[in-house]
Amino acid sequence: METRSDELLAAAREAAGRAYAPYSRFTVGAALLGADGRIYVGCNVENASYGLSLCAERNALFHAVACGCRAFRALALAAPEPTVPCGACRQALAEFCDGGLPIALGSLDPAAPVGRTTLGALFPAPFALGAVRDGGRG
């Protein structure tokens, strides 16, 4: 399947440039390719009350859902050094993506090597509520 990896990585880098990370200084951008062909980006947004901070991945995912997209073909990340999604973001992604979702792990430097994995490799056993899960999607 066409995952438009270079385009997604470029979008993730651009989003990382808009991160609000005055506390960690770790700027992250995420770009999700929707099944609708659109690219949905997010960046991390921190808060003085640290626990309120939102990761780039969930920001991108929730942005997409708010735009009406609930199915995805690929995810790309860009950070000062290549990073995998945190556990909370893996669970959030698993709500809408299957284990085959390709994930490109990029850095802010477009010339640096890109890591490749899948959601299933990172998170093989998501929590789910079975029948309630589908019924609860609204």
Distance CA 100, CA 121 (A): 8
* Count of residues near ligand THU by CB under 6 A: 14
List 16, 55, 103, 104, residue binding ligand THU (CB under 6 A) = 55
Q: What is the dihedral of CA 82, 69, 97, 19, to 10 degrees?
A: 20
Are the C-beta atoms of 48 and 8 separated by less than 8 Å? no
Q: Under the criterion CB under 6 A, does residue 83 sit at the interface with ligand THU?
A: yes
Q: Is 26 in the site for ligand THU (CB under 6 A)?
A: yes
| Stretch of 60-68, 82-90, 99-107, 119-127 lying at the interface with ligand THU (CB under 6 A) | 82-90
Is residue 106 near ligand THU by the rule CB under 6 A? no
Cα separation, 122 vs 116, in Å, equals 11
Regarding 91 and contact with ligand THU (CB under 6 A), the answer is no
**What strand order describes the sheet that includes 102-107?**
39-43, 29-34, 72-79, 102-107, 115-118
Q: Which residues bind ligand THU (CB under 6 A)?
A: 21, 24, 26, 28, 44, 46, 53, 55-57, 83, 85-86, 89
